[in-house]
Amino acid sequence: MKKIVALLLALSFVLCSAPVCFAQEGEKPEMTDYGFVDCGDVKIEYGVYGKADGEALLLLPPNGGDMHSLDDTILPEMSKHFKVITVSPRGTGNSGWVDGTMNFETFADDVKAVLDYLEIEKTHIFGFSDGGNLGFVFTLKYQDRVSSLTVMGSNINTWGTNTFDQIQITYQYIVLVIEAWLKGDDATKIRRDIKGMMVGQPSLTFKDISKIEVPFFNIYGEHDMIQRWHSKKITRSVPDARELMIIGGGHSTCFEQTDTVIIPALLDFYGIEKI
């Protein structure tokens, strides 16, 4: 039994990999505010950048990512035009973690608590991967707080993930469940719960997202881990949605085209010119 567990752990080390954001050249903006918001059971880490009097733009990171996940990609340019808010979801960065609370509904409440604390009534949202999934859930739950929603490489349920990728994710999660049971330490449990966010979550339908009434932009890679039919149906399901398929892009590798494709597309969507 021990040999089998050891083999599973070894294989998980090879297979497990968090999304990687490809860095771009550019000056990082100065953080104008940093702190923690008490959400009752945990404290959530946040940072603020950019124009103090600008419209708000909330950046939501991928699975396992924190408030710095988009520092080297879209943050530098966006901070020239918006008051940008970044957050570290539960279990990431310096945010707290409570066993059994890792789900998008709770994360959406955490985001609302951060916006309330910062006295931000409405915000644009950009979410990458699981960040976009959270963007869907938050928008459906608190649509009056959202100016627009942009998702990139995101799905509304696990049926939208490529079969091989979903099998690998599920396998990684099972290995982490075993590892957490054997070790019993919080660090391993957090890794288990973060990976578990990709197993069975979110559980939205296309009818659900048809209720989104704010401007919506769906970005995905030509070779994304999200199935193309799923991405296209997301676009068709949201009224007056805009879509961009990044040619040659995978999932995280779409960020290789940050300056040439993603930034121009975002600025066009927001109706502003690049500085």
pLDDT of 48 above 60: yes
pLDDT at 27: 76
Beta-strand relationship, 242-246 and 56-60: unpaired
Beta bridge partners of 146: 123
Lowest mean pLDDT among 12-26, 50-64, 172-186, 198-212: 12-26
Q: Encode pLDDT of 85-135 as tens digits.
A: 999 999 999 999 999 899 999 999 999 999 999 999 999 999 999 999 999
Q: Which residue type does 155 have?
A: N
Average pLDDT, the chain: 91
Residue 158 one-letter amino acid: T
Angle between helices 130-141 and 104-117 (to 10 degrees): 70
Q: What average pLDDT does range 127-148 have in this prediction?
A: 98
Q: What proportion of the chain, given as a percentage, has pLDDT over 70?
A: 90
66/86 Cα distance (integer angstroms):
8
Handedness of CA 109, 110, 111, 114 (dihedral sign): positive
What Å distances lie between residue 206 and 29, 58, 133, 238, CA to CA?
37, 24, 13, 8
Alpha-carbon distance of 192 to 190, in angstroms, equals 5
Going by pLDDT thresholds of 50, 70 and 90, the confidence category of residue 17 is: very low
Query: Options 3.40.50.1820, 3.30.420.40, 3.40.50.300, 3.30.413.10; which CATH number does 31-158+194-270 get?
Result: 3.40.50.1820
CA 185 to chain centre: 26
**pLDDT surpassing 70 at residue 3:** no
Q: Read off the tokens for 3.
A: 């040999």
Residue 1: pLDDT above 50?
Answer: no
For residue 164, give both structure tokens. Answer: 């091989």
For the segment 17-21, the average pLDDT, to the nearest whole number, is 39
Q: How confident is the model at residue 26 (pLDDT cuts 50, 70, 90)?
A: low
Rounded Cα–Cα distance for residues 187 and 75 (Å)? 29
